[in-house]
Chain A
Amino acid sequence: MNLWRPYAKAMLTNSSLWFWSVAFMVFWLAIGAFLESGGVGPQRSEVVAYATSWYAVIVLIGLSLLAAAIAGSFAYGSASLAYAFRYSRLTPSGYLGSIVGGSAVLGLAISVVLLGATAGLFGARFSTALPPVDPLGLLGVSLVGGVFFMALSATLALVAINYLGLRSSNYVGYVPLLLSFVLGNAQVYVVLPRWFVYGSPFNDLTSLLYQGYAGTPATVQLGGSSLSLDWIPLLAGLLVWSALLATCTLFLLRRIRVRQLEEGRQV
């Protein structure tokens, strides 16, 4: 039983998801290209490192926004899920596969738009062509990143639904976004320990996106350190985290607790 097609349709026709995960992110890329780029250049390597760092962090934040919005819908459907797992052919693993499959379609579309926007905006600002070196690799990494964020957001949303209550779920939804913002930017501005980058799925993803776009291995501080990172442990770290969180999601989905939406009101 797989519902990824209807989920993909529901997401692709959702203008809010497009606005916040794409239009809002393109806006920030424009800020990076035209307002924050005063001290960059003129060497090409410096321009590439700058544009690529923006791309990597923005994709990280865009995917986390998308996943948080989708996982937030679990609260609206807790009764539907509890019913469907008992009285229909839908299984928790089928549901997880459907929601990940559906969001992967939108995640890929977002990645393509952000890739084009980065190349276009930063290329226009620095009057040079800035095409990604490995666009197919980037789409693959975005796909794995989308699975990771979906599993993380789903786990957090289900912990809130099952154990904390819907009032907490409003706040829990921000956690992936905050971690993305802090850890993504930390790798731009701080020399992080190598073990930390390998162990942090947020930095695994940032580093892999950097390497896919720039064509050179990411460093512990993007564009500011010579200590480079190996893509194999980065990808392995991201996959292990994704698998771990997907397992947690399945465990929690099987025990989903039915909540009344009104419970989530703060006042």
Chain B
Amino acid sequence: MLEIRGLEVTFPGAPSPALRGVELRLDRAKMVVVGANGSGKTTLVRSVLGLVRPTAGSIAVGGRDVGGIHGETGLSTNLGEVYRLMSLPVRDLVRVMALLKGGDPAEMEGRLHEFELDSVRGKRMHELSTGQQKLVGDLFAICFRPNLVLLDEPFDNVDFARRRRLVRLLRELPADILLNTHELDLLGSFDGWGLSLMFEGRLLGPFPVADLDRLYLTRGAAPGALATMDTSLGTFSITRDAGDRPVKSATSLNALVEALA
């Protein structure tokens, strides 16, 4: 279970916070966070991983504050920077990660085979293509029986066939999942999941992914809005069934806001 309350992150010297008042609760649930590049999605994941110090607010994993967590093997991620413990071929790294997570390396070996990644076993991470690195990180995240998975842009540079395989795996995985993406066209694959929108460090939602077709962005504070946000371009509302522009019509929330501003 993941619980985030009033999370704020401001990097030293930055003119504005990277995350502002983020509230999120994930308990036996799966959620997609959609936002443009630079909206704060990765900072959110890195905060939960303990790689970024919050300026304010709290993050609890399994009821324990992230600052005091040790040995919690149930949380995993695909973030590449956490798999740089040592310079070893992937096959050895698999054994190391299995040892660290208390899992069976055969599970990851099987997944590598399933995703036609047998050729990467003898290579070090830095020798892989960008897409291969991303997929190996994705597979590390879902192996070894996690109960909370944090995925940052898991489909970047991944080909269509393997995206479909990965989506199927994620849907079937018996774990809470927080998945960041900037690709709105993939959301149809996540029927039944929650959907939150990230814009300029604010998290709006959650809404059911199935409602995506019914969500609109409206300029100003609309009466009966599902959520409102004050941005550098003005105030905008998320409304249902009516509004200025359908959320799904844009490639990203940023483009939509800029079009309306």
Contacts and interface: CB of A to CB of B under 8 A. Distances in A.
B49 A89 contact: no
B18 to A, nearest CB: 14
Scoring A14, A76, A89 by chain B CB atoms within 10 A of each residue's CB, the highest score goes to A89
Contact of B96 (A6, A73, A76, A87): A6
B49 A87 contact: yes
A206 to B, nearest CB: 31
A12 to B, nearest CB: 12
Contacts of A86: 49-50, 66, 69-70, 72, 75
B71 A76 contact: no
A215 interface: no
Interface in B62-91: 66, 69-73, 75-77, 79, 81-88
A41 interface: no
Interface in B51-71: 51-52, 66, 69-71
> Interface size bucket, B side?
20 to 34
> Interface size bucket, A side?
20 to 34
Interface stretch (B97-105, B155-163, B218-226): B97-105
Scoring B52, B66, B92, B97 by chain A CB atoms within 10 A of each residue's CB, the highest score goes to B92
B95 interface: yes
Given A79-B82, A81-B85, A6 B92 contact: yes
Contacts of B96: 3, 6
Contacts of A83: 49-51, 77, 79, 82
A224 interface: no
A82 B48 CA distance: 12
Scoring B50, B75, B95 by chain A CB atoms within 10 A of each residue's CB, the highest score goes to B50
B51 A79 contact: yes
A10 B51 contact: no
Contacts of B99: 1, 3, 89
A80 B71 contact: no
A258 B51 contact: yes
Nearest to B69: A86
B82 A84 contact: yes
A82 B47 CA distance: 12
Interface of A: 1, 3, 6-7, 9-10, 14, 73, 76-77, 79-91, 258
Given A83-B77, A86-B66, 9 more contacts: A6-B88, A6-B92, A6-B95, A9-B88, A79-B81, A80-B83, A83-B51, A87-B69, A89-B102
Counting from the closest, the 7 A-B pairs by CB-CB distance are: A88-B100, A83-B82, A79-B81, A80-B85, A258-B51, A80-B84, A86-B69
